[in-house]
């Protein structure tokens, strides 16, 4: 069966520090991978998506970047965090065909 792992679950980081959030998928090949952010009391915003290794599309210009070093690994990074980067970050995957999307359990990032 397919599973998706996200870590860490919570993170408190000072302003200006780097960030690395990791997401891995098991049980499927060549998935589309996504990073979403959910600010407090707000909706889900797509940040990045990837249709293959090394292929990253950015939906919103910002202080973050994403990388896909392996087929089932998606990493969200920042060199210097801002207060506005605080939020709930969700990784998701889908495959071609009408199978829907599956989300991870999320990472709560607080920048202080």
Partner 1 sequence: KQEVTQIPAALSVPEGENLVLNCSFTDSAIYNLQWFRQDPGKGLTSLLLIQSSQREQTSGRLNASLDKSSGRSTLYIAASQPGDSATYLCAVPSGVMLTFGGGTRLMVKP
Binding segment for partner 1 (CB under 8 A), chosen from 14-22, 38-46, 67-75, 77-85, is 38-46
1: Cβ contacts below 8 Å, ≥ 6 apart: 27
Task: Rule CB under 8 A: say whether 31 interacts with partner 1.
Answer: no
**Would you tell me how many other CB atoms lie within 10 Å of the CB of residue 12?**
10
DSSP-derived secondary structure letter, 30: S
Task: Rule CB under 8 A: say whether 103 interacts with partner 1.
Answer: yes
Dist. CA 61–CA 78, nearest whole Å: 13
Binding segment for partner 1 (CB under 8 A), chosen from 19-27, 62-70, 76-84, 88-96, is 88-96
- Return the residue of 30, 59, 60, 79 that touches partner 1, per CB under 8 A: 59
Q: Are 4 and 102 in contact (CB under 8 A)?
A: yes
- The footprint of partner 1 (CB under 8 A) covers 6, 32, 34, 43-44, 46, 49, 51, 59, 88, 90, 92, 94, 98-106, 108
């Amino acid at each position: 069966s397919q599973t998706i792992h996200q870590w860490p679950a919570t993170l408190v980081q000072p302003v200006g520090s780097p960030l690395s959030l990791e997401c891995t998928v098991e049980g499927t090949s060549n998935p589309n991978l996504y990073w979403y952010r959910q600010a407090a009391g707000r909706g889900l915003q797509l940040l990045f998506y990837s249709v293959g290794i090394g292929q990253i599309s950015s939906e919103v210009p910002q202080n973050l970047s994403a990388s896909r070093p392996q087929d089932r690994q998606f990493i969200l990074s920042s060199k210097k965090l801002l207060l506005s980067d605080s939020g709930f970050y969700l990784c998701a995957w889908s495959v071609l065909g009408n199978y829907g999307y599956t989300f991870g359990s999320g990472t709560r990032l607080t920048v202080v």
